[in-house]
Structure 1
Amino acid sequence: MSKKIDVDKQVAEARAGSRRATARLLTALESDSEQVPHITAATAGGNAKVIGLTGSPGVGKSTLTSALISAWRAQGLRVAVLAVDPSSPFSGGAILGDRVRMADHALDDGVYIRSVATRGHLGGLAATTGASVRLLEGLGFDVVIVETVGVGQAEVEIASLADTTLLLLAPGMGDAIQAVKAGVVEIADVYVVNKADRPGADATVRDMRAMMSLVRREAGEWRQPIVKTQAEDAGGIDELTAEIDNHREWLIKHDRLAAMRRHRAWAEIRAAVDDRLRHHYRVGDDLAAQLADGDIDVYAAVRKVLDD
Structure 2
Amino acid sequence: MSDLTHESVSPARPGGTFELAGRAVARVGYGTMQLPRMSDPHAARKVLNRAYELGVNHFDTAHFYGDGTANRYLAEALDSKNDVAIVTKVGARPAKWGPMPMVPAQRPEQLRAEVHDNLRSLRAERLTVVNMRRIAPGSFPLSPSQMVKFDDQMAEMIAMREEGLIEHIGLSTVSAVELRAALPAGVVTVQNQYSLASRKQEPVLDIALAEGISWAPYFPLGGAFPGAAKVTHEPVVQQVAREVGASPAQVGLAWLLQHAPNVLIIPGTTSIAHLEQNVAAGSVELSGEQIARLDAIKPAAGVRGLLSRLRRP
Normalising by structure 1, we get a TM-score of 0.32
Larger Rg: 1
Q: Which structure dedicates a bigger proportion of its chain to helix? A: 1
